[in-house]
Amino acid sequence: MYAPIRAAVLRTTALPRPYGDSRPLHIESVRLSAPQEQEVRVRIAAAGLCHSDLSVVDGNRPRPLPMVLGHEAAGEVIEVGAGVRDLMVGDHVVFSFVPQCGHCAPCRSARPALCEPGAAANGAGELLDGGRRLRDMNDTPMHHHLGVSGFAEEVVVSRQSVVRVDRSLPFEIGALFGCAVMTGVGAIVNTAKLRLGESVLITGLGGIGFAALLGALASGAGQVVVADVSDDKLQQALALGAHAAVNSGADNALERVRGLTGGGADVGLECAGVVAALDFTWRGTRRGGRTVTVGLPHPSQTLSISPVQLVAEERTLQGSYLGSCVPSRDIPAYIALYQSGRLPVDKLLTHRLSLDEINDGFDRLARGEAIRQVILF
């Protein structure tokens, strides 16, 4: 049994911008099957536009097509499949874009972001237990985006792709915790393991970079320096509490960062998804410091560093996916920080859209004119 819903479908990547003209995402009627065992059906209330979605649209992150995009979302459970005992109809949930099997070696070592079956399912455009629950009106199977496909009125997902949250949390705010907040704050807290009073350099001020700024301030950073090529975003970061801002496109940008931090930051976090930004962040991190990257440039791009520098300066370069989070633990914890006023992520929400405005939203995102845009259903 398939129920008709409206969804944003990607059939072709790397179309020219502006997307408002080329329209890579088509709003179509698609059919959604009922949830199978250990799956739930969720009515989407809000879904955020993220660079990870844009990187599929522009071809930097190849995914199987056709696909219903979207991975940062929040909604209400409207049906539960067999075997689901800990969720019920009416529960509010936030999605996690890596489903966790709970049994593989990474899951057993509390590193669910590296779940092996979850990664395989995401790469294949399927749900955790295999298969797809989406078909177009010609009965052609469609792929899921990161186990979520949140740019749709309703979704069927693995139980392991959702976290139940406080029903008082507005959906448009809850959606942000599924990627921007989980990734940005988690990279600071879980991956970099920021210590009280340490200095932080954050390069790249998108939704994740701004969330990392708020996370660093909430975690007691002694100094937070932000870097970006947009002066407008640098001013926004200062208004949110950054201690200093540097235009990374300026000739003396690196010298300014080192001067502000006394030789380099204790923690450097790259959020731009550009190799040049990662190189800048690496060079702006001090001896003995930790450089963390959450950006996803094209897979063909590489970074050149000196192994001698790694050894002689005891430097660390580390990737962070899903903010190294345990979603069932960290999403409620970050929401509690927001509700206490210590993590004001509502300030990241700059635009509210309808589903029909999605291509214009991705144009705005590509131009760097938004922090977080949320589609409201």
| Cβ atoms < 10 Å from Cβ of 324 | 25
pLDDT tens figures, 298-350: 889 999 999 999 999 999 999 999 999 999 999 999 999 999 999 999 999 99
**CA 201 to chain centroid:** 19
Confidence of residue 1 (pLDDT cuts 50, 70, 90): low
Q: What are the backbone angles phi and psi of residue 339, rounded to the nearest 5°? A: -65, -25
Q: How large is the average pLDDT for residues 84-100?
A: 97
> Edge-to-edge, what's the strand order for the sheet holding 244-247?
244-247, 223-228, 199-203, 265-270, 285-293, 316-319
pLDDT tens figures, 37-65: 999 999 999 999 999 999 999 999 999 99
Q: Is 141 left (phi over 0), alpha (psi -120 to 50) or beta?
A: beta
Residue 337 host element (H or E): helix 327-339
Q: How large is the average pLDDT for residues 85-103?
A: 97
pLDDT tens figures, 16-25: 999 999 999 9
HSE-up of residue 291 (Cα within 13 Å, Cβ side): 23
Look at residue 3 and tell me whether its pLDDT is greater than 80.
no
pLDDT of residue 214: 98
Look at residue 2 and tell me whether its pLDDT is greater than 80.
no
| Cβ atoms < 10 Å from Cβ of 235 | 12
pLDDT of residue 298: 86
Question: Three-state SS for 136?
Answer: strand
Q: What are the backbone angles phi and psi of residue 227, rounded to the nearest 5°? A: -135, 135
Q: What is the torsional sign of CA 36, 40, 45, 48?
A: negative
* Domains identified in the chain and CATH numbers: 2-178+344-376 (3.90.180.10), 184-320 (3.40.50.720)
